[in-house]
Amino acid sequence: MSRNNALFVIFAPIAFVLMWASGPIAVETGLASSSAPTFLLLRALGAAISCWVIWFFVRDRLPRTRPEWTRTVVVAILLQTAYQGFFFIAVGTGIPAGIVAVVLGTQPLLTTLITRQGRSPRFRAGLLIGLAGVALTVSSALGTTAAADVAGTLTGVLFAFLALLAITGGTVVQGRTTGVGTWASLAIQYSISSAAFAVTVACTGGPRLTGRPAFFLALGWMVAVISVGAAALLYFMVARGEIARVTSLFYCVPPVTALLDLLISGTALTALELAGIGLVLLAVALIQAAPRERKTAEPAPGASVVSR
């Protein structure tokens, strides 16, 4: 392994978790001054423009075959449109964010079931310990915050599960794609999601925005750090390693978000949250240390997704 590859393996997961975990804080700030469809549209547009500019200089490979275009569009619909939309709807129903985090925290388990990766006892133990850590981390919020009514809770849980299915399916499809460049994929996918959210905004009464400075700070962060930086790191890591091993990093997101919230707003961590963070760190260590699976077959001709 070259020195650059070794540094990427070490620092890319850390950078990804830190960036992705900051997303909920930026979303909360942005929604205080904008409707969800408006925020989603501006985020997608900003990300599309940024990725096309980067692609203009990088010129990595665009989709060429029908399967490559199909997979790129599927990922755009699942990962860049459906996941984002369902997540915002789930939070907008009034359901505690902790419940949404618990549901989305099961992504590594669902990914492992779909891909049938990680059969070693250490890997499976790490998945279960990580799920327990996520549950502990958000249990304080669940104990102190109640949903407005049963119908609202059920609706929120439903959309949280839809968001889970969307991000899991999109990540799995992205992991099975080869040949198409990372920046080409992101640029096309954000362009498709921009069109989808533009229709959503038009059907919900048009854009609603107060124009507060905090909103533009949150929007810039979501575009540059989350939609471009974190998404590109995710695609690069998926292209380099096993999909289940990469998605295990999502276990770290709720605890790290709690730590960032502590640093930014001074919200103190409870004993359960600290215990959950410890379990999450143990889980990721077990998963990353588990024996890697050997590939038994090359991808079928015409299979598409991200290039290294």
Segment 109-139, tens digit of pLDDT: 777 767 766 667 877 788 788 878 777 766 6
Contact 200, 85 (CB under 8 A): yes
The better pLDDT of the pair 281, 169 is held by: 169
pLDDT band, very low/low/confident/very high, at 242 (cuts 50, 70, 90): low
Least confident of 54-58, 101-105, 191-195, 245-249: 101-105
pLDDT band, very low/low/confident/very high, at 143 (cuts 50, 70, 90): low
Compute the mean pLDDT over every residue in the chain, rounded to the nearest whole number: 80
* pLDDT of amino acid 294: 53
pLDDT band, very low/low/confident/very high, at 142 (cuts 50, 70, 90): low
pLDDT band, very low/low/confident/very high, at 45 (cuts 50, 70, 90): very high
Quote the pTM value. 0.79
pLDDT at 259 over 70: yes
* pLDDT of amino acid 116: 65
Highest mean pLDDT among 2-6, 18-22, 138-142: 18-22
Residue with tokens 């119908």: 151
Contact 93, 156 (CB under 8 A): yes
* pLDDT of amino acid 308: 29
The beta-strand segments (E) located in the chain are 179-180, 305-306
* pLDDT of amino acid 191: 97
* pLDDT of amino acid 303: 34
* pLDDT of amino acid 295: 47
pLDDT at 300 over 50: no
* pLDDT of amino acid 297: 42
All structural domains of the chain with their residue ranges: 10-292
| Paired tokens of 71 | 């997979």
Least confident of 10-24, 111-125, 134-148, 236-250: 134-148
| Paired tokens of 142 | 């669940």
The SS3 assignment for 202 reads helix
Contact 72, 180 (CB under 8 A): yes
| Paired tokens of 207 | 């854009």
pLDDT band, very low/low/confident/very high, at 152 (cuts 50, 70, 90): low
Q: CB-hemisphere CA count at 13 Å for 224?
A: 6
* pLDDT of amino acid 59: 93
List CB contacts of 259: < 8 A, sequence separation 6 or more.
Answer: 269, 277
| Paired tokens of 96 | 């505690």
